[in-house]
Amino acid sequence: MQTLGIDIGGSGIKGAVVDTETGQLLAERIRIKTPKNGEPQPVAEVVAQIAQAFDWKGPIGIGFPAPIKSGVAMMAANISEKWIGVNAEQLFTNATGCTCKVGNDADVAGLAEMRFGTGKDHTGTVIMITLGTGIGTAIFFNGHLLPNTEFGHLEIKGKDAEARASDAARQREDLSWKKYARRLNRYLLTIEGLFWPDLFIIGGGISKQHERFIPLLTLQTPVLPAQFQNEAGIVGAALFCEME
């Protein structure tokens, strides 16, 4: 089946048509910069623009940077606070004229990795960590998702973990890979001590450079890069759209 998957991030909104039987993108992805302040209507207009670019008329799966319950955004960390309490599914459906299904961005990225990527055939507890503008988390047990975890907001040294260990923090503070790895290691050690996972998967754009920091980590848990890298959100959004 073919489904349009869209990944909404703090800096960019990306979309492509996905073959949900294989996880392959069927056309080159489109990326548009997230509108300044990331408010609901301008973001919805970008989503509609991407759908129009593909001349898309079918259902759309969307990964969104917030916990989503019954289509409603429950909080907003790296996007406008005006999203809180907004029925994102209805907003995007109205904007595109297509039926839209919205899930947490890290959750949907994890779905892609568990179905087709690094997490395929892994049992036990697998935790996907997406490192970008913030830190997203998705937890799976024997392939089943526990939705809407927000462990990027665990407090480390008195600050949200994502304020210290996201890729945006690395770039903002111009950290060396060694210094960044130390910060990420401390965060992952905290997660490890709480959940004792069997595997960490590192996603987001930074995963393209995994050889620079993953070997520097000192965890008991294996840490592997996401196979889909920064496209996991697009593929997973399409898969999420087809879930019951």
* Kind of pairing between the strands at 2-8 and 135-141: unpaired
**Backbone torsions φ then ψ of 65, nearest 5 degrees:** -80, 65
Which residues does the chain have with pLDDT short of 50?
none
The residue ranges of every structural domain in the chain are 2-107+232-241, 121-226
Superfamily of domain 121-226, CATH level 4: ATPase, nucleotide binding domain (3.30.420.40)
Domain 2-107+232-241 has CATH 3.20.20.450: no
Query: Distance (Å, rounded) from C-alpha 22 to C-alpha 7?
Result: 18
Asked if 2-107+232-241 and 121-226 have one fold, the answer is yes
pLDDT of residue 77: 79
**Nearest of 51, 94, 55 to residue 71 by alpha carbon:** 94
Q: Per residue in 152-180, is it b (16+ CB within 10 Å) or e — as a string?
A: bbbebeeebbbbbbbbbbbeeeebeeeeb
pLDDT of residue 229: 84
How far from the centroid of its chain's Cα atoms is residue 129's Cα? 8
Question: Any bridge partners for residue 135, and if so which?
Answer: 131
Query: Distance (Å, rounded) from C-alpha 88 to C-alpha 176?
Result: 38
Enter the pTM of the model: 0.92
> Which tokens belong to 60?
């759309």
How many residues would you count in the chain? 244
* Kind of pairing between the strands at 159-160 and 155-156: antiparallel
> Which tokens belong to 93?
């459906």
Query: Distance (Å, rounded) from C-alpha 146 to C-alpha 155?
Result: 21
> Which tokens belong to 145?
């998702």
How far from the centroid of its chain's Cα atoms is residue 233's Cα? 5
Query: In the chain, what's the furthest Cα-to-Cα distance?
Result: 49
